[in-house]
A and B are shown apart, each in its own frame.
Chain A
Amino acid sequence: MQTAEFVTLPFFFRHLDNRNSYILTNQAGAFTFLENANVLKNVIHGNWSSLSSNTLDELLAKNFISEANEFDARKILIGSRFASVLKNNITEPSLFIVIPTLRCHHDCHYCQVSRVPINKKGFDLSRSNITHILGIIGSTKSSSIKIEFQGGEPLLSKEFIQNFVQESKRRLSEKEVSFVICTSLTDINDSFLSWAKVNDITFSVSLDGHEMLHNLNRPSSLFNTYKIATRNIQTLFDSIGKDSVSCLTTITKDSFSYVDEIIKTYIDMGLNSIFLRPLSPFGFSYLKMDSLSYTAYEYFEFYKHALDKIIALNENLYFVEETALIHLNKIFRPFHSGYVDLRSPAGYALGALVFNYDGNIFGSDEARMLYRITHNEELVIGKIGADESFFNHETTHKLLSDSFISCTPGCDDCAYQPYCGADPLHHLSTQGDHVGNKANSFFCKLETLIYDHLFDLYNNDTRTREVFDKWLSR
């Protein structure tokens, strides 16, 4: 191969500590690995004759270098791919979160939304707001949307939800609409189940592990929350079908000792996926941070251990870990990911809108959680019923302009920039500004550890790669 005419194209790189190698990525989303620092130096300094033909072929194929006569074409190709990803993230919202009530009968220590007791007055969204909310949703351009009912416990307001869904079907008939209720399933009954089946409602349920752990994380003074949750998940399976339920697991310090029990609970329930997620720095978990919190390293050790076990289980069954799949989708299928987090610019108001029980509109669920403990009016980007554009709200502009990670400190030269995103509300909550110091960021540290691990597994473990490919083809 003639090696004199190559040109280096822009790329990011990162040292991978455990193998002393380097990962290279670029704005087109391509990645490759170099075995050591000397090879990296040769690429950067253009010592082409020192590189093997395999390395040169790989670098050319993935647009890390170019032959001089192809330079303009490759530049356009990278630019087009980068523009497509960026454009994919600059959308109108397709996720609409409605909070019918903040009341709940659980006493979860980590409650992110700071719920109130079930008899408390003044924490319910009035039915008169439904028309206004649907007017806003109807005016957005997204043709395929999801409406999520969250709380508190939304099933304490069944009538509101039923009215909302019926009215949505009439007012949003030109859109493809899916409905999700995020619930503990405590207040489900036969007539509601029948209605849910007819209306294609799906349910997102917290299931933190086996009985001891679930009840420890999600206690109630009124009942055994584990027994109610698992019994009603089974009821949903039997009456509507397995696809009607997805479960997610919030990991507390107490969860760290129970990896096997958590996974076994999901397998025994007949679930085919688990969504492991850390505590969020909002609500009660923010206020009790000292007693509840852990470092990103501590969480990652748990996560890695759990992921290893889940990958091993896939020898005999199909069982997905959703956090890993979200990240794999960001790497391999960036246009197929509907995930509103891990975006640049952030998904704030562009990915989701939240209609709160008190009539306030927020650009993300985290913003309403943070508002609940700070009462910072800057987080409110609109009021239900008011005639105003929340896309032009000063907070929306400020927050989004701070969330382009190609130009924020700590992110601008990160190798995982093509797959990662900004989390301005996390940094506002933990550090007091939208950008945050990434060297001290739980979010940044955890994302980096997860990407390091996934790339390492994908590149060095054939069996794991087969499992990941199976998950990606879902």
Chain B
Amino acid sequence: MDVSIELEKSSYPEQTVRKSLYWLSEDYQWQLNETENHWLITIFVSQESLEKATSRFHQLLNDFLLRHQLDIKTQFLREKIIFSALEKIANANS
């Protein structure tokens, strides 16, 4: 049995969808297609795993969407922290 999920591209960035599917691979096979405005996801599951698979995907999707929103606020800072750390190490070794 397959589960088909349609998500609006305006609400779910590609990276959020792909990262969620990356971790879903642990338990399920899936396929990702797209139209101009939508992500079309198919998860291949047995009838008895249907609810569990759907729930797992939405949990991952919500968490990665939150991470995306957090990244918008803090990614520049995270990169700055890593850059300054590497610079500190390079200076200490030079």
Question: Could you mark each residue 47-75 of chain B with 1 if its beta carbon is under 8 Å from any beta carbon of chain A, else 0?
Answer: 00000000000010011001101100111
Q: Which of B22, B77, B85 contacts A409 (CB 8 A)?
A: B22
Question: Could you mark each residue 266-302 of chain A with 1 if its beta carbon is under 8 Å from any beta carbon of chain B, else 0?
Answer: 0000000000000000000000000000000000000
Measured between C-beta atoms, what is the minimum distance from A268 to chain B in Å? 40
Query: Is the CB–CB distance between B84 and A79 below 8 Å?
Result: yes
Measured between C-beta atoms, what is the minimum distance from B55 to chain A in Å? 11
Question: Could you mark each residue 20-31 of chain B with 1 if its beta carbon is under 8 Å from any beta carbon of chain A, else 0?
Answer: 001111100000
Query: Is the CB–CB distance between B70 and A86 below 8 Å?
Result: no
Q: How far is the CA of A361 from the CA of B88 in the complex (A)?
A: 31
Q: How far is the CA of A27 from the CA of B75 in the complex (A)?
A: 13
Q: How far is the CA of A413 from the CA of B66 in the complex (A)?
A: 12
Chain B residues within 8 Å of A75, by CB: 77, 80-81
Chain A residues within 8 Å of B84, by CB: 76, 79, 83
Chain B residues within 8 Å of A409, by CB: 22
Closest B residue to A22 by beta carbon equals B63
**Is B89 an interface position by the 8 A CB rule?**
yes
Query: Is the CB–CB distance between A440 and B26 below 8 Å?
Result: yes
Binds B, one of A37-45, A196-204, A233-241: A37-45
**Is B1 an interface position by the 8 A CB rule?**
no
**Is A8 an interface position by the 8 A CB rule?**
yes
Chain A residues within 8 Å of B69, by CB: 44-45
Q: Which of B63, B67, B81, B89 contacts A78 (CB 8 A)?
A: B81
Chain A residues within 8 Å of B19, by CB: 413
Q: How far is the CA of A27 from the CA of B77 in the complex (A)?
A: 11
Q: How far is the CA of A80 from the CA of B89 in the complex (A)?
A: 10
Measured between C-beta atoms, what is the minimum distance from B53 to chain A in Å? 14
Query: Is the CB–CB distance between A86 and B77 below 8 Å?
Result: no
In the assembled complex, 25 residue pairs joining A and B whose CB atoms fall closer than 8 Å, in A order, are: A8-B74, A10-B70, A10-B74, A10-B77, A10-B78, A13-B67, A13-B70, A27-B78, A44-B73, A75-B77, A79-B80, A79-B81, A79-B84, A79-B85, A82-B85, A83-B84, A83-B85, A86-B86, A86-B89, A90-B89, A413-B19, A439-B24, A439-B25, A439-B26, A440-B26
**Is A430 an interface position by the 8 A CB rule?**
no
Query: Is the CB–CB distance between A15 and B59 below 8 Å?
Result: yes
Query: Is the CB–CB distance between A44 and B66 below 8 Å?
Result: yes
The size bracket of the interface on A is: 20 to 34
Query: Is the CB–CB distance between A439 and B22 below 8 Å?
Result: yes
**Is A227 an interface position by the 8 A CB rule?**
no
Residues of A whose CB lies within 8 Å of any CB of B are: 8-11, 13, 15, 27, 37, 40-41, 44-46, 75-76, 78-80, 82-83, 86-87, 90, 406, 409-410, 413, 437, 439-440, 445
Chain A residues within 8 Å of B73, by CB: 8, 44, 46
Q: How far is the CA of A264 from the CA of B62 in the complex (A)?
A: 46
Closest A residue to B84 by beta carbon equals A79
Chain B residues within 8 Å of A79, by CB: 80-81, 84-85, 88
Q: Given A13-B67, A41-B66, A439-B24, 4 other A-B contacts at CB below 8 A?
A: A10-B74, A44-B73, A83-B86, A86-B86
Chain B residues within 8 Å of A437, by CB: 22, 25
Q: How far is the CA of A10 from the CA of B74 in the complex (A)?
A: 5
Query: Is the CB–CB distance between B74 and A80 below 8 Å?
Result: no
Closest B residue to A45 by beta carbon equals B69
Query: Is the CB–CB distance between A37 and B62 below 8 Å?
Result: yes
Measured between C-beta atoms, what is the minimum distance from A88 to chain B in Å? 10
Q: How far is the CA of A13 from the CA of B92 in the complex (A)?
A: 32
Q: How far is the CA of A82 from the CA of B79 in the complex (A)?
A: 12
Q: How far is the CA of A79 from the CA of B84 in the complex (A)?
A: 7
Known: A10-B78, A15-B63, A45-B69. A410 touches B85 (CB 8 A): no
Closest B residue to A27 by beta carbon equals B81
Closest B residue to A41 by beta carbon equals B66
Measured between C-beta atoms, what is the minimum distance from B56 to chain A in Å? 10
Chain A residues within 8 Å of B59, by CB: 15
Chain A residues within 8 Å of B74, by CB: 8-11
Closest A residue to B19 by beta carbon equals A413
Measured between C-beta atoms, what is the minimum distance from B7 to chain A in Å? 19
Q: How far is the CA of A40 from the CA of B66 in the complex (A)?
A: 9
Chain B residues within 8 Å of A76, by CB: 84
Query: Is the CB–CB distance between A11 and B70 below 8 Å?
Result: yes
Measured between C-beta atoms, what is the minimum distance from B16 to chain A in Å? 11
Q: How far is the CA of A445 from the CA of B23 in the complex (A)?
A: 11
Chain B residues within 8 Å of A45, by CB: 69
Measured between C-beta atoms, what is the minimum distance from A221 to chain B in Å? 42
Measured between C-beta atoms, what is the minimum distance from B84 to chain A in Å? 5
Chain B residues within 8 Å of A46, by CB: 73
Q: How far is the CA of A413 from the CA of B67 in the complex (A)?
A: 8
Identify the 10 closest CB pairs spanning chains A and B, nearest first.
A83-B85, A10-B78, A10-B74, A439-B26, A83-B88, A439-B25, A79-B81, A79-B84, A82-B85, A44-B70
Chain A residues within 8 Å of B82, by CB: 27, 82, 406
